[in-house]
Amino acid sequence: MIELLDTQPDTNIQEDEYKRLLGYPRDYEFPERSRELADWARQWYAENGRPWIYARQTDRLAVRNGRFSLEGVEFSSQKVLALLRKAQAHAVIMVAVSAGRECEEKARQLWLEEKPDEYFFLEIYGSAVVEHLITAAGARGCAWAEQNGMAILPHYSPGYPEWEIADQHKLLHLIRPERIRNEIRVLETGMLQPKKSLLAVFGVTQHIDQGRSPRDLLPCESCSMRACQYRRVPYARSRNQTEAVIRLQPHGDRISGSTARDESNLDRNEKYSINVRALQKWSRERLQLNVLADRSVQARFRYAGTTCSNLGRPFEYDYHVTLASAAEGHRIIAMSCAPAPGDTGHAFMCEYIRSAAALEQVIANEKPLLGCSLNEVLNWNREFSPSGCFCVAVSRKHKWGLVLEVIHYALAQDEKRRNAV
């Protein structure tokens, strides 16, 4: 039987894995500012992070009636059930890993201090730590299994395809020992806290011939640990991001339309709830504006976020807003929000998994400030909620406020430039 608690695991993140999570190719050379931020995040975490790994084996695995159970607790994942059956697994190693709460708390502090770049790089480094920890846990499992004439299956987690996020509650109840009881919890939505955490199961089997193992029963292809002496096949494919945050990388597809020459009543006193650096960055990189012949304005904002649990799956939503002309005070005459074309990540949000149709309808019906002047966004009192997902109303309001403030800022700055000529 295997049980371990490591409160000082190695967190030497490979550079190419960090680049992958940042969205860069492996051979990308960081420009000076990005290099500075990447090194800062690594150093801050080395000095302040408190990662940990907990793993426990259980032989009380039962597979029957289209379900599997661990120590008498039933789980409904057909994906895991099929994997366990195919490998004739006789046991499971239950694992919890976390980058610790310090990383999340520091990132929030950076956001409130109006440091979006530092926020982004530290969030992504925390994500890289979580991936590294689950990889390290798998490597330890492989070493133990090899010594005992067994093999480890790829890990799987609640919130992955075909495993309900709600099962996080049951799995954590089975995993959590007294020594880490206060270090991790599951919220009502299924999100883990700290969010830079992951629960997983590794199947254990005595029936895999190492020379003829089906590749879908081996973790090696998706394991990035280079020096592993138990590797059976090469590391062959990139994994999904374990965690992620709102991306601050440019899309490079801004649409330039004609510039309105009408005078408007836009408030230019910069009473924004969002820091100016973020407004500048997002208006430049995320916002597309087009002024039509009747002087109305069409705006599209591309929001890039992540699910709060379920490995922090990245997704993108498009916000479309139509404004009346400047002469009419840029009254909001149409607004909508929907997943960006081709996006699949949104389907991993907790509420989408629970009821996709209901969440889609709620998002479609929410049109705050419709019919009002764009100026009203500066007077709109709303709760600060920077969560990346769309599961709760307060977070969706926060995003609409962000979108409308960015549009307001872009138009007001354009007027300032024209008036200065």
Q: What is the pLDDT at residue 45?
A: 97
- Spell out the residues 6+ positions from residue 363 whose beta carbon is closer than 8 angstroms to its own: 337, 338, 390, 396
**Cβ(167)–Cβ(73) below 8 Å:** no
| β-pair type (91-98, 52-58) | antiparallel
Q: What is the pLDDT at residue 42?
A: 95
3-class secondary-structure state, position 121 = helix
Q: Which residue has the tokens 């409308």?
A: 404
Give the separation between CA 360 and CA 365, rounded to whole angstroms.
Answer: 9
Long-range CB pairs of 339-344 (<8 Å, 24+ gap) are 339/315, 340/302, 340/315, 340/316, 343/315, 343/316, 343/317, 344/315
Q: What is the pLDDT at residue 220?
A: 52
List the chain domain ranges.
3-222, 276-420
**Cβ(173)–Cβ(56) below 8 Å:** no
Tokens for 173, please give them. Answer: 């109840």
Does residue 374 surpass a pLDDT of 90? Answer: yes
Tokens for 412, please give them. Answer: 């007001």
- Spell out the residues 6+ positions from residue 209 whose beta carbon is closer than 8 angstroms to its own: none
Bridge partners (DSSP) listed for residue 407: none
The pLDDT > 90 percentage for the chain reads: 42
Q: How far is CA 4 from CA 51, 151, 201, 314, in A?
A: 14, 18, 15, 31
State whether CATH 3.40.50.720 applies to domain 3-222: no
Model confidence band, residue 66 (pLDDT cutoffs 50, 70, 90): confident
Q: What is the pLDDT at residue 321?
A: 96
Q: What is the pLDDT at residue 268?
A: 65
CA dihedral sign of residues 148, 150, 151, 155: negative
Q: Quick: pLDDT tens for 137-190.
A: 999 998 888 888 899 999 999 888 888 888 999 999 998 777 777 899 998 878
Bridge partners (DSSP) listed for residue 73: 70
Q: What is the pLDDT at residue 74?
A: 94
Give strand ranges (E) for 113-160. Answer: 151-156
Backbone angles phi, psi at 338, to 5 degrees: -155, 160
Best-predicted range by mean pLDDT among 209-213, 326-330, 387-391, 416-420?
A: 326-330
Q: What is the pLDDT at residue 223?
A: 54
Model confidence band, residue 251 (pLDDT cutoffs 50, 70, 90): very low
Bridge partners (DSSP) listed for residue 318: 302, 338
Q: Quick: pLDDT tens for 55-65.
A: 999 999 999 88
Please state the separation of Cα 21 from the chain's center in Å: 10
**Cβ(321)–Cβ(334) below 8 Å:** yes
Please state the separation of Cα 72 from the chain's center in Å: 32
Best-predicted range by mean pLDDT among 178-192, 222-236, 253-267, 330-344?
A: 330-344
**Which stretch of 95-109, 147-161, 180-194, 199-213 has the lowest confidence by average pLDDT?**
199-213
Better pLDDT: 21 or 368: 368
- Spell out the residues 6+ positions from residue 391 whose beta carbon is closer than 8 angstroms to its own: 189, 308, 349, 350, 351, 352, 359
Q: Quick: pLDDT tens for 282-304.
A: 898 899 999 888 889 999 999 98
